Amino acid sequence: MVIRNGLLVLFGLALIVEAGQQAQGTPPSGPAPAGFTIPELTLEPTRIALVADTAQTAPAMDELPPQAATPKSVPYNLLTTPKLTGDWFGLRTTLKDVGVDFSPMLVSVYQQNFRGGVNTHNAHEIAGMWFYNMELDFNKMLSIPGASFFIRGTQSWNNGIQRDVGSLAAPYWIAGSGGNYFYGDPNCILVDKWWYRQRLLDDRIEFRLGKLLNVLDLFDQNLYAQSYVTQFSYRGFSHNLTIPAAKGIGAFAKFWPADWIYFQMSGIDADNRPTRTGFDTGFHGPAHFVGNWEFGLSPKWRIGDRTLPGNYRFGWWYNPRVRSVYMKTLDGALTQRYKSGDVGFYTSLDQLIFKENDNPSDKQGLGAFFRYGYAHGDINRINHFWSTGLQYQGLIPTRDEDLLGFGVAQSIASRQLRSEINSRTDRETVYELYYAFKVTPWCVITPDVQFITNPEANKDARDSVVGGVRIRIDF
């Protein structure tokens, strides 16, 4: 129902816009508007390299070439427009000029458990989500430099095939554990994120206040294993599975002493419920906040005429939630113990290791990534987690923006869980291969295949083969 209603409205609008622009000669919208696109969640830019840049002096005004004539307007082109619905008769550009950026996006995935796991009978699903992203630029609207406000609404349907596979984490992020659940009403729009952001001192300091998500948006980011929209599907490639995810009312601060180093921290409500505003638990009841701290380095290595950027992040976390200790109770003869105030640490690294050319704006090349995380095994099912892999952009000639990726992720179960609760507990390993076709600037189609050994870290579980295809459409 939700996909039918949304597509009817937005595709109808696209057809109207196309007809109107062709009839009236509406100027093109230009490049895609900047702003928050949640599935990408891009890294902070590195503005100064560790290698020296060649200084250039601006030419005098009388040396500047004459300004080129304004190009003639062209009609709406379905294959080249940045957004499917075009410029809305110029309304999109007008709104952006005054500080309003509205960017709807649809992400949908078909997945099937072809072999093994828990079940293969009817073990297929079409799941997905609408994202309604809006950013208000308060510098343009209210003359407040460095200030903005972001809000996101979502509509989702179906829960994916994690139950059929039996894996520790969802084969696709937004369709299973840890992601955005389907709440039973596909017509319901859930406002799941919002924040006020303020940057100060020439963008050296940033603050955010609102309903925040610690992983994906703020911490444990990775250039080559981050976006569940155009990169890997398996949740364990989007963030470290030992980090306790938290989405709720909170605060975030980040400081760049130099462009190649940063420090950041956050505190986010640990008791938030997904379908609530967050104010009930954020400002009432126990003061439980998940804490995250991270520092990172962003060097640029100069090799010949190529510059190879990298990002090296190191972080730790605090989780106040009460958890059961893994122990034998002898059918109630022993009292179950509980523990709170857990801590852990992680690292997330990415490095471009081969670049096709010396154009700094061209991202074609081969990049590598690595993650590792640790959590105490007495209360956490996953004691150690690591993932590694490669991504190549532009491998096929003329397909400069396509992505090819392969990765391996492993969740190593707690020894205490194995010795006290289930002796068959071991580790779950996931291998994933994907290829993201950028069909048009507004459409990306990504087939992928996953091979999951020992689902749920159970030695007795059947290895699973999962295949699927994902589509992203920017409206």
Q: For residue 64, give both structure tokens.
A: 């500047």
Question: Residue 203 carries which side chain, given as an amino acid letter?
Answer: D
DSSP 12: H
Give the pLDDT of residue 186. Answer: 64
pLDDT bracket for residue 38 (50, 70, 90):
very low
CB 381 within 8 A of CB 417: yes
Q: Kindly report, residue by residue over 219-239, the tens digit of the pLDDT.
A: 999 999 999 999 999 999 999
Residue of 7 and 191 predicted with greater confidence: 191
Residues 137, 91: Cα–Cα separation, whole Å? 16
Give the pLDDT of residue 183. Answer: 56
Q: Kindly report, residue by residue over 305-329, the tens digit of the pLDDT.
A: 899 999 999 999 999 999 999 999 8
Give the pLDDT of residue 185. Answer: 63
Burial of 441 (0-12, 13-18, 19+ CB in 10 A): middle
Residue of 389 and 286 predicted with greater confidence: 389
CB 251 within 8 A of CB 289: no
pLDDT bracket for residue 175 (50, 70, 90):
low
pLDDT bracket for residue 148 (50, 70, 90):
very high
Nearest to 189 by CA among 252, 241, 134, 256: 134
pLDDT of 343 above 60: yes
Sole residue written with tokens 């995380």: 373
Interval 421-426 mean pLDDT: 93
Q: For a pLDDT cut of 70, what percent of the chain falls above it?
A: 82
pLDDT of 83 above 80: yes
Q: Which domains are present in the chain?
A: 1-32+75-97 (no CATH), 100-474 (2.40.160.180)
Question: Residue 28 carries which side chain, given as an amino acid letter?
Answer: P
- Strand segments, DSSP code E, in 216-288 are 247-258, 261-269
pLDDT bracket for residue 151 (50, 70, 90):
very high
